[in-house]
Amino acid sequence: MADDVARLKVIREKVEAGERLSFDDGLALEASRDILEIGALANLVRERKNGDLGFYNVNTHINPTNVCVYTCDFCAFRADLDEPKAYVMYRDQVVERARQASERGATEIHIVGGLHHKLKLDYYCDVIRWIKEVDPEIHVKAYTAVEVEFFAKITRVSTEEVLKRLIDAGLGSLPGGGAEIFHPEVREKICGAKATTEQWLDVHRTAHRLGLHSNATMLYGHIDGPVHRIDHMVRLRELQDETGGFQTFIPLAFHPDNSEMADIPRPSGMMDLKTMAISRLMLDNFPHIKAYWVMLGLKTAQVALSFGADDIDGTVVHEKIYHEAGAETPQEATVAEIRRLIEEAGRVPIERDTLYREIRREGGRWSAGAKIQTPSLAILNS
């Protein structure tokens, strides 16, 4: 206990001085139960970087197929080709979904899905094209690094070539999925077949070099321990030092239902908030930390806005992956609801696009302004 107080005091001094926390500092935070002090430190960084802004966006999800060659233990979404629940969305369905999104004023479509061995890269490019034909303004954030690596394998081209073809089709940025846990002790057990840690990081490195921004996630609360989580964050921090291309880190709370790990309990509220706060503290070079309400629940996501998070994600609609794993959250949150939650948390709700530009709405139309910078961000970036 006395040890804990002393360690946190040293960490506080570092945070106040804007110094980088070490791997061991991360482990000390993990070992501590002083959620209020950890939260206060994360909040300090959060306010230094993002003031009192609380970001959200108006988006929708498309999961083009659930057919997947991989059998990750935590996944309740995947299907074999011959299973009744197996599906592929073709042009009409994608166009219809994009049309609905566009009519609702969505600024972003988020696409992730299964790795279907019979579909070609052209199909995955077409999904983006079909959306862009409906609404060229809508930002398509599509395909995890795991998917990009898989497309490269089945097409026998480099991941750089895959990214170039996707960009040509209209890709705007990469989502952060497929990262799970980078540490091999865990990764090999829960998703050993898919892209390795090095491959995942390399796809993002390449994407950043090609001018794309991307996000990064971490699936926590299953067989991961403190070392694995801190290792995950430090690897991301190192790549971000190199490229600066990451925008947002999203800690994802594991949902066990219908998965091969259904016997593992869900992460607790304590773990959710601590992981959020530690992410903010360790990932000192990530501009944003997101409390993804679909997985955390709206209530925890709201509280997380005082534990390091500055973003609560979007209206979502049509979420399948976590709902099939037992998420009890609604399918959709309204803008009014999201804004109320942010305001009640003492933050100023700001609608952003995928690249964190402020959205202005007039009548049924929207436009993106300049990239949002809090005063402190402006100073840091000048």
Tokens of 262: 């259904």
Q: How far is the CB of 77 from ligand MET (least distance, A)?
A: 7
191 is in an annotated binding site: no
Asked if residues 273 and 300 have their Cβ atoms less than 8 Å apart, the reply is yes
Sign for the CA dihedral angle at 293, 297, 301, 307 comes to negative
Pairing of strands 357-362, 365-371: antiparallel
- Contact window for ligand MET (CB under 6 A) among 39-47, 131-139, 144-152, 311-319: 144-152
Q: Tell me, what amino acid is at 119?
A: L
- Residue 349 has phi, psi (to 5 degrees) of -70, 130
CA distance 33 to 120: 49
Residue 215 to residues 153, 212, 246, Cα–Cα distance (Å):
23, 10, 5
User: Which one, 45 or 145, has the nearer CB to ligand MET?
Assistant: 145
Which of 94, 239, 253, 321 touches ligand MET (CB under 6 A)? 321
125 is in an annotated binding site: no
Q: Residue 201 interacts with ligand MET (CB under 6 A)? A: no
- Contact window for ligand MET (CB under 6 A) among 13-21, 109-117, 300-308, 349-357: 109-117
Q: Residue 177 interacts with ligand MET (CB under 6 A)? A: yes
Q: Residue 178 interacts with ligand MET (CB under 6 A)? A: yes
User: Which one, 7 or 151, has the nearer CB to ligand MET?
Assistant: 151
- Contact window for ligand MET (CB under 6 A) among 120-128, 139-147, 240-248, 353-361: 139-147
What order of strands is seen across the sheet that includes strand 311-314?
A: 311-314, 53-57, 348-351
Q: How far is the CB of 213 from ligand MET (least distance, A)?
A: 17
Q: How far is the CB of 197 from ligand MET (least distance, A)?
A: 13
The closest of 227, 255, 200 to 73, measured between CA atoms, is 255
Asked if residues 263 and 256 have their Cβ atoms less than 8 Å apart, the reply is yes
Q: Residue 148 interacts with ligand MET (CB under 6 A)? A: no
User: Which one, 177 or 251, has the nearer CB to ligand MET?
Assistant: 177
Residue-by-residue DSSP string for 308-321: T--EEEE-B-S--T
Three-class secondary structure of residue 270 per DSSP? helix
Q: Considering only residues 181 through 200, tell me which ones interact with ligand MET, judged by CB under 6 A.
A: 194
Q: Residue 327 interacts with ligand MET (CB under 6 A)? A: no
Q: Which residues bind ligand MET (CB under 6 A)?
A: 112, 114-115, 144, 146-147, 177-178, 194, 321
Binding-site residue set: 68, 72, 75
